Amino acid sequence: MEDGKMSRSAQTEYFQPVNLTCDSIHLNISENWSKVQSIHWMLPSAELITETKDKIKIVKANGFPYWIQIDRVGDDNFGYYTCIIVYQPQGKMTSEVQVVRWGLNIDGPDFTKLRDQYADQAVVGAIAAGILLGILGLSCVIWHYRYNARKRRDGLNKGDYEPTSRVYDNSAYNDIEIVKSEKPLEQPNGSSAQDATDQKEIDVHM
């Protein structure tokens, strides 16, 4: 018995249909049905089927289970689907066997469309955020200039008196206090020293 194995892969989104064909461009058995003796499909669970089972639909061509159809792909459908093709001996003592192996969502489901959708939304969101920040910044600038203009206008209407800082010399006040504190000396009889001096001047002139 001669055999060969060909691997193919399919990746689809969740809950999307998929078709797996028991053929390849190297085999092209659809053009050589007369050479085919039997076809069997083996599921990821290692179960052999030739008829529709549960969610796995078998589509026949020329009496052979040529396709597997899955209407809604879920996690339980991920895995390897193996198609076993047995050829007629064609005068030989042994039969040729070819195997087409399909890997369905082996690396996970296809998120390309979903990723592109979120990428577009992210770009739109970033642009919207940039525009919003620009508007807020412009609003702050406009408010700042309006506030300053209103402040200057209100200042002009009120006379805009700005008190200047002045420095006072306390020494002048200190001198005044010293002068005020210097009182005339009183004599024992109740008269001041200035009165005694004036009396002496009067006596001399007399």
Domain of 15, CATH number, reads 2.60.40.10
Same domain, 138 and 69: no
Q: Is residue 143 part of a domain?
A: yes
Q: Is residue 165 part of a domain?
A: no
Same domain, 35 and 123: no
Same domain, 21 and 72: yes
Q: How confident is the model at residue 200 (pLDDT cuts 50, 70, 90)?
A: very low
Q: How confident is the model at residue 1 (pLDDT cuts 50, 70, 90)?
A: very low
Residues 6 or more apart in contact with residue 118 via CB below 8 angstroms: none
Same domain, 92 and 17: yes
Same domain, 56 and 35: yes
Q: Is residue 171 part of a domain?
A: no
Q: How far, in whole angstroms, is CA 120 from its chain's centroid?
A: 12
Same domain, 47 and 94: yes
Number of domains in the chain: 2
Q: Is residue 188 part of a domain?
A: no
Is the confidence at residue 204, as pLDDT, over 50? no
Which pLDDT belongs to residue 162? 52
Same domain, 64 and 120: no
- The region of weakest confidence among 6-10, 12-16, 83-87, 117-121 is 117-121
Higher pLDDT: 163 or 9? It is: 9
Q: How confident is the model at residue 163 (pLDDT cuts 50, 70, 90)?
A: low
Same domain, 54 and 98: yes
Same domain, 115 and 143: yes
Listed residues 104, 136, 166: the one ending a domain: 104
Domain residues for the domain of 138 are 111-152
Higher pLDDT: 126 or 203? It is: 126
Q: Is residue 205 part of a domain?
A: no
Residue 166: burial class (beta carbons within 10 Å; 0-12, 13-18, 19+): exposed
| Rounded alpha-carbon distances, angstroms, from residue 145 to 15, 148, 151, 172 | 59, 5, 10, 48
Same domain, 8 and 97: yes
Alpha-carbon distance of 51 to 43, in angstroms, equals: 12
Same domain, 39 and 127: no
> What does the pLDDT average to over 35-41?
93
Q: How far, in whole angstroms, is CA 15 from its chain's centroid?
A: 28
Listed residues 88, 104, 120: the one ending a domain: 104
Same domain, 148 and 65: no
| Average pLDDT over the chain, rounded to an integer | 77
Q: Is residue 184 part of a domain?
A: no
The fraction of the chain above a pLDDT of 90, given in percent, is 35
pTM listed for this prediction: 0.55
